[in-house]
A and B are shown apart, each in its own frame.
Chain A
Amino acid sequence: GAGVSQSPSNKVTEKGKDVELRCDPISGHTALYWYRQSLGQGLEFLIYFQGNSAPDKSGLPSDRFSAERTGGSVSTLTIQRTQQEDSAVYLCASSLKGGANNEQFFGPGTRLTVL
């Protein structure tokens, strides 16, 4: 079946603009995760959804970052007033059920470049 998809695959924006990144998880997966991966770095946890609620938002780096999930499926990560340090690859993952000891399936990521 289809895996996790993310769009756009690449996004170039100007400093100060808002961006929206989309994640379509695997159908039936109740848990959804957002991560940020800077060049040559590991994965930085941003937020975790169980259904439509976000029990753990502790990784969001500032109030410019927000995320929502509707219908227990698609999720959108929004970055307002983008800064150059926001440039990174944003990865989304989903897992069949909640509880972090379930395999996470990753999407290909969105590469964000802030000029």
Chain B
Amino acid sequence: GENVEQHPSTLSVQEGDSAVIKCTYSDSASNYFPWYKQELGKGPQLIIDIRSNVGEKKDQRIAVTLNKTAKHFSLHITETQPEDSAVYFCAAIATNAGKSTFGDGTTLTVKP
């Protein structure tokens, strides 16, 4: 089955700096890679996703890159703000499967 590893487990940055979270996956059949943000006491919320036919995707301060050959993908947040503080999860999914495999999460703290 799929195995997703996420690093780092915790990340602390100064407001305005960039933050990068990395994930690797094992199943070459995986072709959809969403990123979720989870705030305290709430369910995860999709913030950005990427499909295997794309190498990079941007949405304002958030970007995701995908290297299918190396089986890794990364989340980049620029100009971080205190409200970016949350737990971020990556996931790897095969299109024809119902199962999503999540990383263990990264707790991001943005210090004002």
- Seen from chain A, the residues whose Cβ lies within 8 Å of a Cβ on chain B are 4, 31, 33, 35, 40-45, 48, 50, 55-56, 58-59, 91, 93, 98-101, 103-109
Contacts and interface: CB of A to CB of B under 8 A. Distances in A.
B59 to A, nearest CB: 14
Interface size of B as a range = 20 to 34
Contacts of B36: 106
Interface in B71-110: 89, 91, 93-105
A79 B102 CA distance: 23
B104 A45 contact: no
Interface of B: 6, 31-32, 34, 36, 41-46, 49, 51, 89, 91, 93-105
Contacts of A35: 102
14 contacts: A33-B98, A33-B100, A35-B102, A42-B103, A43-B100, A48-B98, A56-B97, A91-B43, A99-B98, A100-B97, A101-B51, A104-B100, A106-B36, A106-B45
